[in-house]
Amino acid sequence: MHYFLTEEQQMIQDLAAQIAKEKVRPVRAELDQQEEFPWEIMKVLAQSDLFGLYIPEAYGGLGGGILENCLAIEQLAQACIGVATSFAASGLGAYPILLYGSEEVKQTYLPDIASGKRLAAFGLTESGAGSDVSGIQTTAVKDGDYYILNGTKQWITNGGEAEIYSVLAITDRSKGPRGATFFVVEKGDPGFSFGKKEKKLGIRASATRELVFQDCRIHKSRIIGREGMGFIVAMKTFDKSRPGIGALGIGLAQGALDIAVEYARKRVQFGKPIISFQAIQHKLANMATKTEAARALIYSVARYMESDPSDSSKVAAMCKVFAGDVAMEVATEAVQVLGGYGYMQDYPVEKMMRDAKILQIYEGTNEIQRNIIGQELNKEYSRLKDSFF
């Protein structure tokens, strides 16, 4: 189904699906086992102009939006969300620049990101600051026309591989939420280095690494937005990126469903293909229904956010929490349908189940997403004058 997509959107979907089939599937097991960053695939995606889907034409992009980006992410995720995460994380790093960067900053960095010449990354999380963003310890102290950054970021996707980093640091702790600022930091800047590369349960093709700042001097022209806007920039960036996490979820769920149905049609027990048994049919039916429901949510929210971006925190969180939970459930059920084979590395559903867990954790745990949804509901209903009972 094409879900009322335009011809151009269908082309994006088909192109990403082709790359996933021809370039990602044949190497996904090897990338996972070797924990190897998929540079060759990133180059193919760059040559196909997919890195510029959501970036305006003025900065070298294709001028699309959230839906176009989600379509590409979903298709890549059907094959491997480790690869798809590496692709999507460049968008996460680019969004602060796209949303709040000065014209000079946009002109400097967005064309390279759009072309895939340089990957981007988003530097927020620290050992003591994940769900609680206010716990950030990395500081940026003003020194004339420069800021001196000190601190360590943890679990940064594309860390060490990306060349452009949107980094959040505290510029004035006394101001609380208004005391943080985003900066653009480039790989190779003096005082900026990388710590250990993490060994992970899943998405092992994706690089996850520490960012280390030791008296790293960044010129004030590389501030994103204004000093003190850091938390606003972070929250608005997450609103834009969370449908993409949902797209990772529906892609993985669809990939696991495809394998489960194919296996159930071929696997014979008691003289019949196991898909003829009601227990298996019900599992597959639930998997398919929830995957379609998640897809419908992601697509509709992506369209809504393009038309009314001012009020999107609740629906963006819904995308992330629902699709992430669906991916985990569908991948686990796919392993169950395949039985003993599903638990072995001969079939990719074992990898998919390991990969799926991160979707409930990164870019805001699903518990935090439910907090956001609940808080937004409270705000909405406090404005209503009618009583419902």
Domain stop point among 119, 142, 171: 119
Cα separation, 275 vs 202, in Å, equals 29
Cα separation, 113 vs 139, in Å, equals 26
Domain that holds residue 64: 7-119
Q: Which residues of the chain have pLDDT under 70?
A: 1-2
The secondary structure of 166-208 as a DSSP string is EEEEES-GGGGGGSEEEEEEETT-TTEEEEEEPP-SS-TTS-E
Q: Is residue 388 part of a domain?
A: no
* CATH classification at residue 17: 1.10.540.10
Check whether residue 365 and residue 236 sit in a common domain. yes
Active site residues: 363
Q: Is residue 208 part of a domain?
A: yes
Domain stop point among 56, 89, 119: 119
Check whether residue 253 and residue 371 sit in a common domain. yes
Check whether residue 186 and residue 153 sit in a common domain. yes
Check whether residue 361 and residue 295 sit in a common domain. yes
pLDDT value at residue 1? 65
Q: Is residue 386 part of a domain?
A: no
Q: Is residue 348 part of a domain?
A: yes
Q: Is residue 385 part of a domain?
A: no
Q: How many CB atoms lie within 10 A of CB 2?
A: 10
Check whether residue 303 and residue 242 sit in a common domain. yes
Q: Are 215 and 195 in contact (CB under 8 A)?
A: no
Q: How many domains does the chain have?
A: 3
Question: Exposure string (b/e) for 68-88, b if CB count within 10 Å is 16 or more?
Answer: bbbbbbbbbbbbbbbbbbbbb
Q: Is residue 22 part of a domain?
A: yes
* CATH classification at residue 213: 2.40.110.10
pTM exceeds 0.95 for this model: yes
Check whether residue 22 and residue 145 sit in a common domain. no
Check whether residue 224 and residue 243 sit in a common domain. no
Beta-bridge partners for 140: 149
Q: Are 326 and 291 in contact (CB under 8 A)?
A: yes
Assigned token pair, 107: 């002109």
Check whether residue 87 and residue 138 sit in a common domain. no
pLDDT value at residue 2? 64
Cα separation, 154 vs 124, in Å, equals 8
Domain stop point among 57, 84, 119: 119
